[in-house]
Protein backbone atom coordinates (compact mmCIF):
# COMPACT_ATOMS: atom_id res chain seq x y z
CA UNK A 1 0.00 0.00 0.00
CA UNK A 2 1.11 3.54 -0.57
CA UNK A 3 -0.07 7.05 0.00
CA UNK A 4 0.38 9.65 -2.74
CA UNK A 5 1.21 13.29 -2.11
CA UNK A 6 1.18 15.80 -4.93
CA UNK A 7 2.53 19.18 -3.94
CA UNK A 8 2.25 22.21 -6.22
CA UNK A 9 2.63 20.18 -9.39
CA UNK A 10 2.25 22.08 -12.65
CA UNK A 11 2.62 21.13 -16.30
CA UNK A 12 2.59 23.14 -19.52
CA UNK A 13 3.01 22.11 -23.13
CA UNK A 14 4.49 24.65 -25.55
CA UNK A 15 3.69 27.46 -23.13
CA UNK A 16 0.08 26.35 -22.65
CA UNK A 17 -0.75 25.49 -19.06
CA UNK A 18 -2.51 22.14 -18.64
CA UNK A 19 -2.15 21.76 -14.87
CA UNK A 20 -1.73 24.89 -12.77
CA UNK A 21 -0.12 24.23 -9.37
CA UNK A 22 -2.08 21.18 -8.16
CA UNK A 23 -1.91 19.73 -4.66
CA UNK A 24 -3.61 16.53 -3.57
CA UNK A 25 -3.19 13.81 -0.98
CA UNK A 26 -4.37 10.24 -1.38
CA UNK A 27 -4.38 8.02 1.70
CA UNK A 28 -2.85 4.61 1.98
CA UNK A 29 -5.36 1.96 0.77
CA UNK A 30 -7.84 4.50 -0.50
CA UNK A 31 -9.83 4.36 -3.74
CA UNK A 32 -9.59 7.94 -4.93
CA UNK A 33 -11.20 9.27 -8.10
CA UNK A 34 -10.28 12.31 -10.09
CA UNK A 35 -13.42 13.41 -11.93
CA UNK A 36 -13.27 16.06 -14.62
CA UNK A 37 -14.37 16.96 -18.14
CA UNK A 38 -12.55 15.72 -21.23
CA UNK A 39 -9.26 17.53 -21.78
CA UNK A 40 -8.91 18.88 -18.22
CA UNK A 41 -5.56 17.15 -17.64
CA UNK A 42 -6.46 13.85 -15.98
CA UNK A 43 -4.24 11.67 -18.17
CA UNK A 44 -1.42 14.21 -17.90
CA UNK A 45 -1.58 13.94 -14.10
CA UNK A 46 -1.56 10.12 -14.30
CA UNK A 47 1.50 10.22 -16.58
CA UNK A 48 3.25 12.54 -14.13
CA UNK A 49 2.54 10.18 -11.22
CA UNK A 50 3.57 7.14 -13.26
CA UNK A 51 6.80 8.83 -14.33
CA UNK A 52 6.23 9.08 -18.09
CA UNK A 53 6.39 12.88 -17.78
CA UNK A 54 8.19 15.26 -15.42
CA UNK A 55 6.48 18.14 -13.63
CA UNK A 56 7.51 21.75 -14.42
CA UNK A 57 7.20 22.54 -10.72
CA UNK A 58 6.35 20.71 -7.53
CA UNK A 59 6.94 17.34 -5.96
CA UNK A 60 5.33 13.90 -6.16
CA UNK A 61 5.72 11.58 -3.18
CA UNK A 62 4.62 7.93 -3.21
CA UNK A 63 4.67 5.96 0.03
CA UNK A 64 6.86 8.58 1.67
CA UNK A 65 9.43 8.47 -1.13
CA UNK A 66 9.99 11.46 -3.42
CA UNK A 67 9.59 10.07 -6.94
CA UNK A 68 9.67 13.39 -8.80
CA UNK A 69 10.85 16.82 -7.84
CA UNK A 70 11.10 19.75 -10.26
CA UNK A 71 13.42 21.57 -7.87
CA UNK A 72 16.11 18.90 -7.82
CA UNK A 73 15.20 17.56 -11.31
CA UNK A 74 14.93 14.20 -9.57
CA UNK A 75 12.82 11.56 -11.28
CA UNK A 76 12.48 7.88 -10.46
CA UNK A 77 11.85 5.78 -13.61
CA UNK A 78 8.31 4.36 -13.97
CA UNK A 79 9.34 0.75 -13.23
CA UNK A 80 10.92 1.81 -9.93
CA UNK A 81 7.79 3.52 -8.58
CA UNK A 82 5.97 0.35 -7.46
CA UNK A 83 2.87 1.16 -9.44
CA UNK A 84 0.89 -0.15 -12.38
CA UNK A 85 -1.29 1.71 -14.80
CA UNK A 86 -4.21 0.64 -16.96
CA UNK A 87 -4.52 3.05 -19.85
CA UNK A 88 -7.62 4.50 -21.44
CA UNK A 89 -7.48 2.05 -24.37
CA UNK A 90 -6.21 -0.83 -22.12
CA UNK A 91 -4.27 -2.19 -25.12
CA UNK A 92 -3.63 -5.92 -24.79
CA UNK A 93 -1.21 -7.53 -27.24
CA UNK A 94 -3.30 -9.26 -29.91
CA UNK A 95 -0.69 -11.90 -30.80
CA UNK A 96 -0.18 -13.06 -27.20
CA UNK A 97 -2.34 -15.45 -25.19
CA UNK A 98 -4.13 -14.32 -22.04
CA UNK A 99 -1.40 -15.90 -19.93
CA UNK A 100 1.44 -14.32 -21.90
CA UNK A 101 -0.24 -10.92 -21.79
CA UNK A 102 -0.76 -11.09 -18.05
CA UNK A 103 2.67 -12.48 -17.16
CA UNK A 104 4.58 -10.15 -19.51
CA UNK A 105 5.63 -7.70 -16.75
CA UNK A 106 7.10 -10.64 -14.81
CA UNK A 107 9.00 -11.80 -17.88
CA UNK A 108 10.42 -8.29 -18.29
CA UNK A 109 11.53 -8.39 -14.66
CA UNK A 110 13.28 -11.78 -15.29
CA UNK A 111 11.07 -13.56 -12.75
CA UNK A 112 11.97 -17.25 -12.31
CA UNK A 113 9.77 -19.62 -14.36
CA UNK A 114 7.97 -21.29 -11.44
CA UNK A 115 7.13 -17.98 -9.76
CA UNK A 116 6.02 -16.53 -13.10
CA UNK A 117 3.59 -19.43 -13.63
CA UNK A 118 2.24 -19.17 -10.10
CA UNK A 119 1.79 -15.40 -10.02
CA UNK A 120 0.42 -15.26 -13.58
CA UNK A 121 -2.27 -17.81 -12.72
CA UNK A 122 -3.12 -16.06 -9.47
CA UNK A 123 -3.64 -12.71 -11.25
CA UNK A 124 -5.81 -14.42 -13.90
CA UNK A 125 -7.93 -16.09 -11.21
CA UNK A 126 -8.23 -12.80 -9.36
CA UNK A 127 -10.04 -11.17 -12.29
CA UNK A 128 -12.17 -14.24 -13.00
CA UNK A 129 -10.47 -15.41 -16.20
CA UNK A 130 -9.36 -18.83 -14.92
CA UNK A 131 -9.61 -21.41 -17.74
CA UNK A 132 -9.06 -18.84 -20.53
CA UNK A 133 -5.25 -18.72 -20.23
CA UNK A 134 -4.55 -19.95 -23.75
CA UNK A 135 -7.09 -17.77 -25.58
CA UNK A 136 -6.02 -14.90 -27.80
CA UNK A 137 -7.53 -11.45 -27.18
CA UNK A 138 -9.54 -11.74 -30.42
CA UNK A 139 -11.32 -14.72 -28.82
CA UNK A 140 -12.42 -12.62 -25.84
CA UNK A 141 -15.21 -10.11 -25.29
CA UNK A 142 -14.39 -6.46 -24.63
CA UNK A 143 -15.02 -6.96 -20.91
CA UNK A 144 -12.74 -9.99 -20.79
CA UNK A 145 -9.98 -8.07 -22.59
CA UNK A 146 -10.39 -5.35 -20.01
CA UNK A 147 -9.88 -7.96 -17.28
CA UNK A 148 -6.68 -9.10 -19.02
CA UNK A 149 -5.38 -5.54 -18.82
CA UNK A 150 -6.36 -5.40 -15.15
CA UNK A 151 -4.67 -8.73 -14.38
CA UNK A 152 -1.53 -7.55 -16.19
CA UNK A 153 -1.51 -4.44 -14.00
CA UNK A 154 -1.98 -6.50 -10.82
CA UNK A 155 0.53 -9.27 -11.57
CA UNK A 156 3.50 -7.25 -10.33
CA UNK A 157 1.67 -6.67 -7.02
CA UNK A 158 1.84 -2.88 -7.20
CA UNK A 159 1.34 -0.73 -4.11
CA UNK A 160 -0.50 1.80 -6.26
CA UNK A 161 -2.82 1.16 -9.20
CA UNK A 162 -3.52 3.98 -11.65
CA UNK A 163 -6.68 3.41 -13.67
CA UNK A 164 -7.22 5.85 -16.52
CA UNK A 165 -10.84 5.58 -17.62
CA UNK A 166 -10.46 1.81 -18.12
CA UNK A 167 -14.18 1.16 -18.56
CA UNK A 168 -15.03 3.68 -21.26
CA UNK A 169 -15.10 1.10 -24.07
CA UNK A 170 -17.53 -1.21 -22.30
CA UNK A 171 -21.31 -1.25 -22.57
CA UNK A 172 -23.37 0.10 -19.67
CA UNK A 173 -24.05 -3.26 -17.98
CA UNK A 174 -20.46 -4.46 -18.17
CA UNK A 175 -19.21 -1.09 -16.99
CA UNK A 176 -21.37 -1.37 -13.90
CA UNK A 177 -20.26 -4.94 -13.24
CA UNK A 178 -16.56 -4.07 -13.62
CA UNK A 179 -17.00 -1.07 -11.34
CA UNK A 180 -18.18 -3.37 -8.53
CA UNK A 181 -15.38 -5.82 -9.29
CA UNK A 182 -12.66 -3.19 -9.17
CA UNK A 183 -14.01 -2.02 -5.84
CA UNK A 184 -14.08 -5.60 -4.53
CA UNK A 185 -10.52 -6.19 -5.76
CA UNK A 186 -9.32 -3.06 -4.04
CA UNK A 187 -10.88 -4.20 -0.74
CA UNK A 188 -9.41 -7.67 -1.11
CA UNK A 189 -5.88 -6.52 -2.00
CA UNK A 190 -5.87 -3.37 0.10
CA UNK A 191 -4.02 -1.43 -2.59
CA UNK A 192 -4.28 2.28 -3.22
CA UNK A 193 -6.19 3.13 -6.39
CA UNK A 194 -6.24 6.39 -8.28
CA UNK A 195 -9.03 6.27 -10.83
CA UNK A 196 -9.64 9.00 -13.38
CA UNK A 197 -12.87 9.43 -15.29
CA UNK A 198 -15.35 11.94 -16.65
CA UNK A 199 -18.22 9.65 -15.66
CA UNK A 200 -19.83 10.91 -12.46
CA UNK A 201 -21.70 7.67 -11.82
CA UNK A 202 -18.48 5.65 -11.74
CA UNK A 203 -16.80 8.28 -9.59
CA UNK A 204 -19.64 8.32 -7.06
CA UNK A 205 -19.92 4.53 -7.04
CA UNK A 206 -16.30 3.50 -6.72
CA UNK A 207 -14.59 6.12 -4.57
CA UNK A 208 -13.80 6.47 -0.92
CA UNK A 209 -13.12 10.10 -1.81
CA UNK A 210 -13.14 12.00 -5.06
CA UNK A 211 -11.82 15.27 -6.43
CA UNK A 212 -13.68 17.32 -9.02
CA UNK A 213 -11.39 19.07 -11.50
CA UNK A 214 -12.55 21.85 -13.82
CA UNK A 215 -11.55 22.37 -17.45
CA UNK A 216 -8.58 24.52 -16.40
CA UNK A 217 -7.10 21.74 -14.26
CA UNK A 218 -8.17 23.39 -10.99
CA UNK A 219 -9.52 21.18 -8.19
CA UNK A 220 -12.91 22.56 -7.15
CA UNK A 221 -13.73 20.12 -4.34
CA UNK A 222 -12.40 17.04 -2.58
CA UNK A 223 -14.58 14.84 -0.38
CA UNK A 224 -16.56 11.64 0.08
CA UNK A 225 -19.07 10.98 -2.74
CA UNK A 226 -22.14 11.78 -0.65
CA UNK A 227 -20.56 14.92 0.77
CA UNK A 228 -19.63 16.26 -2.67
CA UNK A 229 -23.02 15.29 -4.14
CA UNK A 230 -25.08 16.79 -1.35
CA UNK A 231 -22.90 19.78 -0.54
CA UNK A 232 -21.26 20.88 -3.79
CA UNK A 233 -18.70 23.63 -3.28
CA UNK A 234 -19.96 25.58 -6.29
CA UNK A 235 -22.18 25.39 -9.35
CA UNK A 236 -19.46 23.72 -11.45
CA UNK A 237 -19.40 20.74 -9.08
CA UNK A 238 -23.20 20.71 -8.91
CA UNK A 239 -23.53 20.70 -12.71
CA UNK A 240 -20.84 18.07 -13.15
CA UNK A 241 -22.34 15.52 -10.76
CA UNK A 242 -25.68 15.16 -12.53
CA UNK A 243 -28.50 16.97 -14.27
CA UNK A 244 -28.73 20.43 -12.75
CA UNK A 245 -31.90 22.53 -12.60
CA UNK A 246 -31.89 26.16 -11.55
CA UNK A 247 -34.70 28.59 -10.80
CA UNK A 248 -34.33 32.31 -10.11
CA UNK A 249 -34.85 33.51 -6.54
CA UNK A 250 -36.45 36.73 -5.34
CA UNK A 251 -35.55 37.91 -1.89
CA UNK A 252 -37.71 39.99 0.40
CA UNK A 253 -35.93 40.55 3.71
CA UNK A 254 -35.51 37.14 5.30
CA UNK A 255 -37.97 35.48 2.89
CA UNK A 256 -36.92 33.73 -0.35
CA UNK A 257 -39.32 33.17 -3.27
CA UNK A 258 -38.27 30.53 -5.79
CA UNK A 259 -39.20 30.62 -9.50
CA UNK A 260 -41.84 33.36 -9.18
CA UNK A 261 -43.70 31.56 -6.40
CA UNK A 262 -45.88 33.76 -4.18
CA UNK A 263 -45.24 31.46 -1.20
CA UNK A 264 -41.92 31.93 0.64
CA UNK A 265 -39.53 28.95 0.77
CA UNK A 266 -39.97 27.16 4.09
CA UNK A 267 -36.80 25.03 4.01
CA UNK A 268 -33.30 26.10 5.05
CA UNK A 269 -32.29 29.56 3.78
CA UNK A 270 -28.90 30.32 2.17
CA UNK A 271 -26.05 30.42 4.65
CA UNK A 272 -24.14 33.01 2.62
CA UNK A 273 -24.69 36.73 2.20
CA UNK A 274 -25.35 37.88 -1.36
CA UNK A 275 -27.67 40.11 -3.38
CA UNK A 276 -28.68 37.44 -5.83
CA UNK A 277 -29.28 33.70 -5.45
CA UNK A 278 -30.38 30.82 -7.65
CA UNK A 279 -32.04 27.67 -6.35
CA UNK A 280 -30.46 24.47 -7.70
CA UNK A 281 -32.09 21.03 -7.57
CA UNK A 282 -31.93 17.62 -9.20
CA UNK A 283 -34.70 16.06 -11.34
CA UNK A 284 -35.35 13.64 -8.46
CA UNK A 285 -35.96 16.57 -6.08
CA UNK A 286 -39.06 17.62 -8.04
CA UNK A 287 -42.44 16.80 -6.48
CA UNK A 288 -44.95 16.70 -9.29
CA UNK A 289 -48.72 16.85 -9.08
CA UNK A 290 -51.68 17.56 -11.40
CA UNK A 291 -52.99 20.42 -9.32
CA UNK A 292 -52.48 21.92 -5.93
CA UNK A 293 -49.79 24.06 -4.40
CA UNK A 294 -46.48 24.62 -6.14
CA UNK A 295 -45.31 26.37 -9.25
CA UNK A 296 -47.54 26.08 -12.30
CA UNK A 297 -45.74 24.46 -15.24
CA UNK A 298 -46.37 23.00 -18.68
CA UNK A 299 -44.93 19.61 -19.69
CA UNK A 300 -42.90 20.14 -22.86
CA UNK A 301 -41.54 16.61 -23.26
CA UNK A 302 -42.30 13.27 -21.60
CA UNK A 303 -39.90 10.33 -21.98
CA UNK A 304 -40.57 6.89 -20.53
CA UNK A 305 -37.15 5.47 -19.57
CA UNK A 306 -38.15 2.19 -17.95
CA UNK A 307 -37.56 2.66 -14.24
CA UNK A 308 -38.43 6.32 -14.40
CA UNK A 309 -40.22 8.92 -16.46
CA UNK A 310 -38.28 12.00 -17.46
CA UNK A 311 -40.17 15.28 -17.94
CA UNK A 312 -39.06 18.58 -19.38
CA UNK A 313 -41.18 21.27 -17.74
CA UNK A 314 -41.57 24.93 -18.59
CA UNK A 315 -41.97 27.13 -15.52
CA UNK A 316 -42.70 30.69 -16.70
CA UNK A 317 -40.05 30.40 -19.42
CA UNK A 318 -37.42 28.46 -17.45
CA UNK A 319 -37.02 24.82 -18.47
CA UNK A 320 -36.37 22.22 -15.79
CA UNK A 321 -36.06 18.42 -15.78
CA UNK A 322 -38.05 16.17 -13.44
CA UNK A 323 -37.63 12.42 -12.92
CA UNK A 324 -40.32 10.31 -11.29
CA UNK A 325 -40.28 6.59 -10.61
CA UNK A 326 -42.53 4.96 -13.25
CA UNK A 327 -44.55 3.07 -10.63
CA UNK A 328 -45.31 6.34 -8.84
CA UNK A 329 -46.51 7.91 -12.10
CA UNK A 330 -48.82 4.94 -12.66
CA UNK A 331 -50.13 4.70 -9.10
CA UNK A 332 -50.70 8.43 -8.68
CA UNK A 333 -51.99 9.22 -12.16
CA UNK A 334 -48.92 11.26 -13.04
CA UNK A 335 -48.26 10.02 -16.55
CA UNK A 336 -48.25 13.42 -18.25
CA UNK A 337 -48.17 14.03 -21.96
CA UNK A 338 -46.75 16.97 -23.88
CA UNK A 339 -48.78 20.11 -23.27
CA UNK A 340 -50.27 18.98 -19.92
CA UNK A 341 -50.34 21.54 -17.11
CA UNK A 342 -48.69 20.43 -13.88
CA UNK A 343 -47.66 21.68 -10.44
CA UNK A 344 -44.04 21.66 -9.38
CA UNK A 345 -42.96 21.42 -5.76
CA UNK A 346 -39.40 21.01 -4.53
CA UNK A 347 -38.26 18.55 -1.86
CA UNK A 348 -34.97 20.35 -1.33
CA UNK A 349 -32.83 23.04 -2.96
CA UNK A 350 -29.19 24.09 -2.90
CA UNK A 351 -28.40 27.79 -2.95
CA UNK A 352 -25.97 29.30 -5.41
CA UNK A 353 -24.82 32.90 -5.51
CA UNK A 354 -25.67 34.71 -8.77
CA UNK A 355 -28.00 34.00 -11.67
CA UNK A 356 -27.49 30.43 -12.87
CA UNK A 357 -30.62 30.27 -14.99
CA UNK A 358 -29.07 31.76 -18.13
CA UNK A 359 -27.35 29.03 -20.10
CA UNK A 360 -28.63 26.30 -17.78
CA UNK A 361 -28.17 22.85 -19.32
CA UNK A 362 -31.46 21.08 -19.65
Ligand X SMILES: Nc1ncnc2c1ncn2[C@@H]1O[C@H](COP(=O)(O)OP(=O)(O)OP(=O)(O)O)[C@@H](O)[C@H]1O
Question: Which residues make up the interface to ligand X (CB under 6 A)?
Answer: 13, 18, 36, 38-44, 88, 198
Give me the least distance between CB of 236 and ligand X, in Å please.
15
Q: Look at residue 168 and give the partner it binds from ligand X, Mg ion, none, a contact being a CB closer than 5 to 8 Å depending on partner kind.
A: none
Q: Do residues 223 and 208 make contact, with C-beta atoms less than 8 angstroms apart?
A: no
Q: Looking at the chain, how many residues does it have?
A: 362
Shortest CB 240 distance to ligand X, Å: 13
51 interface partner picked from ligand X, Mg ion, none, CB below 5 to 8 A per type: none
Q: How far is CA 184 from CA 6, 123, 168, 180, in A?
A: 26, 14, 19, 6
40 binds, among Mg ion, ligand X, none (CB under 5 to 8 A by kind): ligand X
> Taking the alpha carbons of 84, 35, 227, 285 in that order, is the dihedral positive or negative?
negative
Residue 39 touches which of ligand X, Mg ion, none (Cβ within 5-8 Å per kind) = ligand X
Say if CB 258 and CB 292 are below 8 A apart: no
Cβ neighbourhood burial of 130 (10 Å; 0-12, 13-18, 19+): exposed
Q: Which is nearer to Mg ion, 45 or 222 (CB)?
A: 45
Using the minimum distance from each CB to ligand X, give the nearer residue, 22 or 288.
Answer: 22
In the bound state with ligand X, the residue whose beta carbon lies nearer, of 45 and 116, is: 45
Distance CA 44, CA 127 (A): 27
Q: Which is nearer to ligand X, 28 or 214 (CB)?
A: 214
Closest CA to 157 of 119, 108, 203, 111: 119
Return the one option of Mg ion, ligand X, none that residue 198 interacts with (CB less than 5 to 8 A, by type): ligand X
12 versus 139: smaller Cβ distance to ligand X? 12
Closest distance to ligand X from the beta carbon of 120 (Å): 30
Partner from ligand X, Mg ion, none contacting 248, C-beta within 5 to 8 A by type? none
Those residues with Cβ within 8 angstroms of residue 183's Cβ, 6 or more apart along the chain or in another chain: 31, 205, 206
DSSP 79: G
CB of 41 to Mg ion, least distance (A): 8
DSSP letters of 301-316? EEEE-SSEEEEEEEET
Minimum CB separation from ligand X for residue 266, in Å?
Answer: 41
Residues that bind Mg ion (CB under 5 A): 42-43
CB of 91 to Mg ion, least distance (A): 14
Residue 33 or residue 308: which is nearer to ligand X going by CB?
33
Long-range contact list for 38-42, CB < 8 A, 24+ apart? 38/198, 39/215, 40/213, 40/214, 40/215, 40/216, 40/217, 41/11, 41/213, 41/217, 42/164, 42/165, 42/196, 42/197, 42/198, 42/213
Nearest residue (CB) to ligand X, 220 versus 321: 220
Return the one option of ligand X, Mg ion, none that residue 132 interacts with (CB less than 5 to 8 A, by type): none
For residue 84, the minimal CB distance to Mg ion (Å) is: 17
Using CB atoms, what's the residue nearest to Mg ion? 43
Amino acid sequence: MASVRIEGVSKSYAGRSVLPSLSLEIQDGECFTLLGPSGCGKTVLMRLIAGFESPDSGTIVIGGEVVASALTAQSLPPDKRGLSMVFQDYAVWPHMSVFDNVSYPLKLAHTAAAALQERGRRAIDLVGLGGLETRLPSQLSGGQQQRVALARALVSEPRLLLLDEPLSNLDANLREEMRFEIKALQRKLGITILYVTHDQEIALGISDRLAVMDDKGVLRQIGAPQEVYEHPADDFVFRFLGIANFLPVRRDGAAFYIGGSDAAWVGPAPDKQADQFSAGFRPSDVLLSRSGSGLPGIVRRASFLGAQVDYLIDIAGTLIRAALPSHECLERGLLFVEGDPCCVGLATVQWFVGDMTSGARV
